[in-house]
Structure 1
């Protein structure tokens, strides 16, 4: 499914607890499409760090990138420090507002919470204006629509009709609605129509919004997946230690590929 990802694309990726497709991360690295603009919805972690370490990333738009309890994201931190990637600072509400604008087909979404922050000095494409419906003295910030080329995430299941069950992870739906292409890996494919079942229908992302689905058991590992398995915190910590250097990162990624083959 990595064939859908081309050089220079904007790629939306979910927060670590929402269903990260680490299976697709490895396929993206093998595929090698680079110069990517990553949009973290709304923060990034291991997936983003590995894509940066593999040299595939030009820009990261995010409100944070870290490995949680394992500490900072080492390849991200190094890339910001040496200037090899461009960082577009954002906030969680701003990321969601940009996606919401895209899914509604409008050029921007207004927000108030950014007034008075220094982020406005660093984001030339965020515009502070006077509220045109007020008599003056009521500033508001316009967040431009974020329109990813591709959204990628992992979910517990899809049905044979292409519908994907995302439960209450509505940020995944927002990513799919805003993106031109949506790629999903899942733990399993079920025979029944998930939209026809009252118990699952409310949490289903219809096939209309899905470009490709692939079965990848434990496809979020070493992250966890809600209702399926917990995160492998020891493995994430092992990566955090190894990836402090370019050489350590390379060894870690080579070993992961070797384990997959074996």
Structure 2
């Protein structure tokens, strides 16, 4: 498994724009730990779809991140994301505030090969005021003044996520997690870790086809059992809340973070 994860990690190089999923949506923690262990990919621009958590916090703590584009970063019930919070306060990382709909709109624009997607709800907000790349124009189809915000297409260099299974042809079952498909459609490269590889054709079975991401949009796959731990994976296992709390307590300081990471070098849960 380690060789397979190393193969996937090698796709990610310094300066890339990396799309990562929300905490309940298949976070590739085994791959994240391999990226950190390798240490070669730095100055990453993380695009959280649409929020981030432990994965983002770890990558920042390891010094691999230059920019975070997100609606929020936290550890949920375990509290704030300590390495993220410290990095934003110190200016170590550049923060691009967004909203959940804006992130999805940017990915949708990329999927449809158009330069932007219009939105209304951002007008007059503090978020819109601080995003110079979001443009406000008058609706060209309206007779009267009708301002609208244009969200530029978001083109990740790579999207990474974890899913329950893939088949030998490279099709990946994502169930109802359609945001994972949006990430893969928009990205130039999609890297997926899965719990298991199945022999059946997921696209040929009516019970799985609707929830399957076709291999056309998947660049490479690696098997990683319990690869989302300590996050959970829908229909497979629950989050390890005690481990998330342990991380939150340890990572309050840089020294505590380093000690935690040294103690948890394995790619998957015990």
Aligned mate of 1:177, from 174, 178, 185: 185
SS in 1 for 2:207: coil
SS in 1 for 2:265: helix
The match for 2:12 is 5
Matched, 1:165 2:173: yes
For residue 136 of structure 1, report the CA deviation from its aligned partner.
Answer: 2.6
Q: Where does 1:69-148 land on structure 2 (aligned, <5 Å)?
A: 69-148=77-156
CA distance in 2: counterparts of 1:77 and 1:129, whole angstroms? 34
SS in 2 for 1:4: coil
How many residues are matched? Answer: 262
The match for 2:5 is none
CA distance in 2: counterparts of 1:24 and 1:93, whole angstroms? 27
Aligned mate of 2:226, from 196, 218, 227: 218
Aligned mate of 1:59, from 67, 70, 86: 67
Q: What does the per-residue CA deviation read over 1:60-107, in whole Å, with 9 as the maximum and x for residues that have no partner?
A: 000000000011000000000000000000000000000000010000
For residue 260 of structure 1, report the CA deviation from its aligned partner.
Answer: 6.5
For residue 259 of structure 1, report the CA deviation from its aligned partner.
Answer: 8.6
For residue 253 of structure 1, report the CA deviation from its aligned partner.
Answer: 0.4
- Relative to the length of structure 2, the TM-score reads 0.95
SS in 2 for 1:257: coil
CA RMSD of aligned residues (A): 1.3
CA distance in 2: counterparts of 1:258 and 1:29, whole angstroms? 12
Q: What does the per-residue CA deviation read over 1:5-45, in whole Å, with 9 as the maximum and x for residues that have no partner?
A: 01100000000001000011101112220000000000000
- Relative to the length of structure 1, the TM-score reads 0.98
Aligned mate of 2:36, from 29, 40, 43: 29
List structure 1 runs of 4+ shifted beyond 4 angstroms.
258-262
CA distance in 2: counterparts of 1:8 and 1:259, whole angstroms? 24
For residue 115 of structure 1, report the CA deviation from its aligned partner.
Answer: 1.0
The match for 2:4 is none
Long gaps (5+) in structure 2: 1-7
Aligned mate of 2:208, from 200, 204, 208: 200
Long gaps (5+) in structure 1: none
Q: What does the per-residue CA deviation read over 1:141-184, in whole Å, with 9 as the maximum and x for residues that have no partner?
A: 00000000000000000001100000010000000000000000
For residue 119 of structure 1, report the CA deviation from its aligned partner.
Answer: 1.3
